[in-house]
Structure 1
């Protein structure tokens, strides 16, 4: 297991599989790609990774999910772990949610669904480069 991870959070399993496959293809030799189907599950994965001393470098989260919305999750995440790079990936995020995230944290990027694989990998690479400086 790599000692660093990228976490993807989305309530649609087909989206998670796509993200995991694409991220693993580009970054699999360097970083583990973990997935969570809810914010609650994401916190469990974060706790497990922290217990295993795996550094979470980047989190990609959907916005519209049952229970906690992606913007609320990313803002809370930033309060607890400000070093983690965050990306909001959504086809339905409203402008006020995106503004709220920008006001309350450093959102690395907002990407609309459906995404372009090369664009997403470029955003991830740029986010990861902050750890190589």
Structure 2
């Protein structure tokens, strides 16, 4: 089992299912993949992964979610875990939200819905190579 994880957060089950199948196809068992339908659920997973000494490499978060928007969530993550790469996945974020995430969450990139599998692979490969 890998000791490194990629966490995806989106309130749409179909988006999470697409990400799961694409990540598994692209990277196999190289990483653990975790999925949450809200920022609250993501925080629970982050706590569990931390307790198991599993390093979260990347968090890919939707912007438009109930209760906590993606830019707010990623900012909170960055404040507590500055080494985690933050990525926003969105079809609806306005430029102000994206810019706010760049400034406050050290946003690595914004992946637009619908994305391609190749875009997802390039983004993860690029983010991880910069992290080393």
How many Å separate the matches in 2 of 1:66 and 1:106? 22
Q: Match for residue 15 of structure 1?
A: 15
Q: What is the aligned residue count?
A: 132
Does structure 2 retain, via aligned residues, the 8 Å contact 1:24–1:32? no
Q: Which runs of 4+ in 1 moved over 4 A?
A: none
How many Å separate the matches in 2 of 1:21 and 1:34? 12
Q: CA deviation at 1:102?
A: 1.2
Q: CA deviation at 1:121?
A: 1.0
Give the alignment's Cα RMSD to 1 decimal.
0.9
Post-superposition Cα deviations, 1:35-71, rounded to whole Å, max 9, x if no partner, equal 0000000000000000011000000000000000000
How many Å separate the matches in 2 of 1:26 and 1:79? 30
Map residues 24-63 of structure 1 onto 2, 5 A cutoff: 24-63=24-63
Q: Match for residue 113 of structure 1?
A: 113
TM-score relative to the length of structure 1: 0.96
Specify which structure has the higher proportion of helix.
Answer: 2
How many Å separate the matches in 2 of 1:51 and 1:26? 27
Post-superposition Cα deviations, 1:56-104, rounded to whole Å, max 9, x if no partner, equal 0000000000000000000010000000001100000011100111121
Q: Can you give the 5+ residue segments of structure 2 that lack an aligned partner in the other structure?
A: none
Q: Can you give the 5+ residue segments of structure 1 that lack an aligned partner in the other structure?
A: none
